[in-house]
Amino acid sequence: MYADKNLTCKECGQEFVFTAGEQEFYESKGFVNEPQRCKNCRDARKNNNRTEREMFTATCASCGAEATVPFRPREDRPVYCSECFAKMREE
C-alpha cells in the first residue's frame, strides 16, 4: 500500500527517505502533509525552541547529599536526591 518516497529537505536541501512505515504512522495520526524537513533539521529546529532549564541546588532531606533540582526548593517541603527519591518511589 505504501512505498518509500525520496523527499528534499526545504531547510538543508538534502534528500531524505519518507519510509512506508512513517507514511502509515502519519496517516494513523491524521497528518495530511508530508514532512518538509529531514530528521536532523527537524531535531535542530525542535531544540532551538527549547529554553534552558534553571536548576537549583538543595540538600537531600534523607541522606544529606547535595542535589540539583529543576525547581526552587521551599523550606516547608523536603527535597531528595535522585537516589533517595527513587528508593521512596519503590516503597
Instruction: Quote the number of domains for the chain.
Output: 2
Confidence of residue 49 (pLDDT cuts 50, 70, 90): confident
Percent of the chain with pLDDT over 90: 85
Residues 6+ apart with CB under 8 A from 72: 56
For residue 66, what are the domain limits? 56-90
35 and 69 share one domain = no
11 and 44 share one domain = yes
> What pLDDT was estimated at residue 50?
76
Query: Does the structure show a pLDDT above 90 at 51?
Result: no
42 and 64 share one domain = no
> What pLDDT was estimated at residue 47?
85
pTM of the model: 0.54
User: How far does CA 52 lie from the centroid of its chain?
Assistant: 13
60 and 83 share one domain = yes
